[in-house]
Amino acid sequence: MPGEDDTDPHPWWLLDLGSNHNLSRINVTLREDSGGFRFIGAIVRAGLSPNFTENLPCGSPATSEQSKNGAEITFLCEPPQTARYVSVDIDTSMPGVDADQAYLQLAEVAVDKFTSGEGAALPVYGKSTSQSTTWDSHPSYKAVDGETYTYTHTDVNDPHPWWLLDLGSKHCLGRINVTLRTDGWGFRFIGAIVRAGLSPNFAENLPCGSPATSQQSREGAKIPFLCEPPRLAWYVSLDINTSMPGVDAAHAFLQLAEVAVEEYTSGECAAPGYLGCFGDAKNRSLTVGPALDHNEQSVEWCFRNCLEPTEYNYAGLEYAHECWCGNEDYDKHGKEPDSDCIYFCSGNSDQICGGDWLLSVYREKP
């Protein structure tokens, strides 16, 4: 049923996605039977703050040409935004907006994630690889040599075939694409599990998606494995647990033509409460600090510092070991791409702690 606000000085609508996602596009469908013109000036936003005015717009305000009955209007988030919240609002003080006619009458709001085909391919050519066993002339590096006519091959009688890729550093991973040997034997991949994580012991890392099915396991198949939610990872692996139901131990081999990895923005892998990467300068965005800890700095450490004895709303981390606090103006030097905040926290290398004159800003209550 369409939603309609009555005599509202600043109509708004908010969607809580429940967790962080990398969004590329918001599609809004208007009420079909009438009132399309009431949408003129509407702004779509996506971001990490429940206060919608703190989030960046996706695209431009709705025009009179767009605001027609039943129109489906696309708002592009360029660049893609790391967001937990999506909102639509009309600022009735804006030029061209008729405050008496400004209503939100939304039939549907759809959200497009920045995923397959849009994610940044992480170069893996030449990265260090290993596998449990090797049959004939099919070593582990054949899965990252850029050629689909070559392939890896584990040996016969391998009780638990595995293959491991060492990325050499931490990355925020969202998707792993596996291409199987092209000339046959796809069924040998049934039950294979893809994992990504920070441990060189693959069994300690969480799976991406579900084990490969018989429908997926065809010769030459390209199989996507989604890491939901995205995670920080140093290692990517595949393994087949031959004791799993449905796995034929006598036919369980890893024969990988290529393994490709898609990297997401660091914001997708950030701790809860993350608002984004923001510029900083000598006239500080957050003015209380810095509290320094070269060994224990983390989001939690910084929050404790910012909440005791005075409660500040925002915690900002910079240079991997600096903690800054404040109640406002964290964004006065502008929003920067999440990928520019490149330092991991000195006390928790799973968390992002800013960059050079760049703050990773967190809010205690996301």
What integer pLDDT is reported at residue 158 of this predicted model?
A: 94
Of 145, 199, 363, nearest to 274 by C-alpha is: 363
The mean-pLDDT minimum among 9-18, 74-83, 169-178 falls in 74-83
Residue 326 has which token pair?
């404040």
What integer pLDDT is reported at residue 119 of this predicted model?
A: 57
What band does 2 get if pLDDT is binned at 50, 70 and 90? very low
Of 160, 238, 239, 231, nearest to 198 by C-alpha is: 231
What integer pLDDT is reported at residue 101 of this predicted model?
A: 86
Residue 146 has which token pair?
């850029």
pLDDT at 169 over 50: yes
Residue 233 has which token pair?
């990872």
Residue 343 has which token pair?
């330092």
Question: Exposed, middle or buried by CB within 10 Å (0-12, 13-18, 19+), for 51?
Answer: exposed
What band does 24 get if pLDDT is binned at 50, 70 and 90? confident
What band does 5 get if pLDDT is binned at 50, 70 and 90? very low
Mean pLDDT of the chain: 88
What band does 106 get if pLDDT is binned at 50, 70 and 90? very high
Looking at the DSSP bridge assignments, the partners of residue 163 are: 131, 238
Torsion sign across C-alpha atoms 226, 229, 234, 239 = negative
Give the distance, in angstroms, between the CA of residue 193 and the centroid of all CA atoms in the same chain.
21
What band does 117 get if pLDDT is binned at 50, 70 and 90? very low
For tokens 């140093």, the residue is: 234
pLDDT tens, residue by residue, 279-305: 999 999 999 999 888 888 999 899 888
Average pLDDT in the 270-280 region?
84
Average pLDDT in the 109-129 region?
77
Question: Exposed, middle or buried by CB within 10 Å (0-12, 13-18, 19+), for 227?
Answer: buried
Contact between residue 60 and residue 18 where contact means Cβ atoms under 8 Å apart = no
pLDDT at 138 over 70: yes
What integer pLDDT is reported at residue 6 of this predicted model?
A: 57
Contact between residue 183 and residue 243 where contact means Cβ atoms under 8 Å apart = no
Of 263, 236, 303, nearest to 120 by C-alpha is: 263
pLDDT tens, residue by residue, 211-221: 999 888 999 99
Looking from the CA of 20 toward its CB, the CA atoms found within 13 Å total: 26
Element (H, E) at 302: helix 299-307
What integer pLDDT is reported at residue 116 of this predicted model?
A: 40
Q: 364 vs 335, which has greater pLDDT?
A: 335
Q: 273 vs 153, which has greater pLDDT?
A: 153
Q: 339 vs 37, which has greater pLDDT?
A: 37
pLDDT at 1 over 50: no
pLDDT tens, residue by residue, 180-218: 998 989 899 999 999 999 899 999 998 998 899 988 899
pLDDT tens, residue by residue, 46-101: 988 899 998 889 988 988 888 999 888 989 887 677 788 999 999 888 888 888 88
What integer pLDDT is reported at residue 88 of this predicted model?
A: 97
Looking at the DSSP bridge assignments, the partners of residue 177 are: 224, 260
Residue 125 has which token pair?
């050519």
Of 158, 222, 218, nearest to 188 by C-alpha is: 218
